[in-house]
Amino acid sequence: MTSPIDGVRERIMGTEVLVAGVPPAEAATVLAWLRRVERTFSRFTAESDAGRANSGRPVTVSHLFLLALADGMAYAEATGGLFSPWLAREMERIGYADDFAAMEGRPRGSAEPAALAGGPGDLPMVEVDFTRRAVRLRGPVGVDLGGFVKGWAVQKAADALREAGVRSGLIDAGGDLVCWRGPAEPAWRIGVEHPLTGEPAAVIEPPASDLPAAVATSSAVRRSWDGAAGERLHHIIDPRTGRPADSDCVQATVFSSDLAAAEVYAKCLVVLGTEEGPAWLSEHDPDAGWIVVDLDGAVVSRR
């Protein structure tokens, strides 16, 4: 069994962030970085880069915003559109227009697809000028880097600590985490919770390695709510339909050496389901491990 980890905790980006096993000054730097990322990418505030981009007007954005957006666009292309950074309007339509903690207990949203939803290769009408740092979203489309940028930012923080000589550490943002250790450092043991029972579904113990270990989990259960018509909705959108994913996979965990990639791939597994998803992942990242949970609660994994 795993036990709680001591460290510094703070609520950032709508989730609890834990920084453990690193010196206090470095932990404070990590938290300050993640607060900056939240201020830049939150779609719930009109003053953020994401909020201003979603206004529909031409805007100048920060270099930080463009760095993450470029990576998100690259993953959209690499996954054939199974991952998309352009789903803000779909999120709003299904009712996810506020911080999730503010939504609980309020039926809202609809599962009806948006007019923009299309096939895996479709991209919205957007204008991004990386030289001038200019963004204009044309048509009914909004940018939402959401969970992707959370994993992206945690990975950047872990890379910076490792480059600075921090030999062991863990950064966990709501279950999406990066950990690393040298050969002489104690092992990290990462528990994965079963989405239907709350009991442990698996324990991951990454080996000592020159590379960090990244673990990301996407769940159709954890952030779900009742829609206005009484239907059950969740926040993992299938870009092909514009609706919440409707596969037999209720939760997917992916572990690899990069948290942004693991975050993207976990979402793709929930979209594709417990049979097609793992086969797809094996083609895109043969070294990645995965754990999937189906509608009946069965757990299947490859580690």
**Tens-digit pLDDT profile for residues 213-236:** 999 999 998 877 676 666 777 789
Is the pLDDT at 24 greater than 90? The verdict is yes
**Tens-digit pLDDT profile for residues 163-209:** 999 999 999 999 999 999 988 888 899 999 999 999 989 999 888 77
Is the pLDDT at 71 greater than 90? The verdict is yes
Tell me the domains of the chain and their CATH numbers. 8-302 (3.10.520.10)
CA distance 8 to 102: 24
pLDDT band at 103 (very low <50, low <70, confident <90, very high): low
* Contact between residue 51 and residue 159 where contact means Cβ atoms under 8 Å apart: no
**Tens-digit pLDDT profile for residues 104-132:** 655 465 556 554 444 434 454 788 999 99
The sign one gets for the Cα dihedral 21, 68, 233, 99 is positive
pTM: 0.90
CA distance 11 to 102: 14
CB within 8 Å of 166: residues ≥ 6 apart: 22, 23, 26
Is the pLDDT at 78 greater than 60? The verdict is yes
Determine the average pLDDT of the residues in 264-280. 98
pLDDT band at 153 (very low <50, low <70, confident <90, very high): very high
Which helix (H) or strand (E) covers residue 251, if one does?
A: strand 249-256
Can you give the pLDDT at residue 138?
Answer: 78
- Residue 189's Cβ-side half-sphere holds a number of Cα atoms within 13 Å equal to 8
Can you give the pLDDT at residue 97?
Answer: 62
CA distance 200 to 192: 6
Average model confidence (pLDDT) for the chain? Answer: 89
User: Dihedral of the CA atoms 56, 145, 287, 272 (nearest 10)?
Assistant: -70
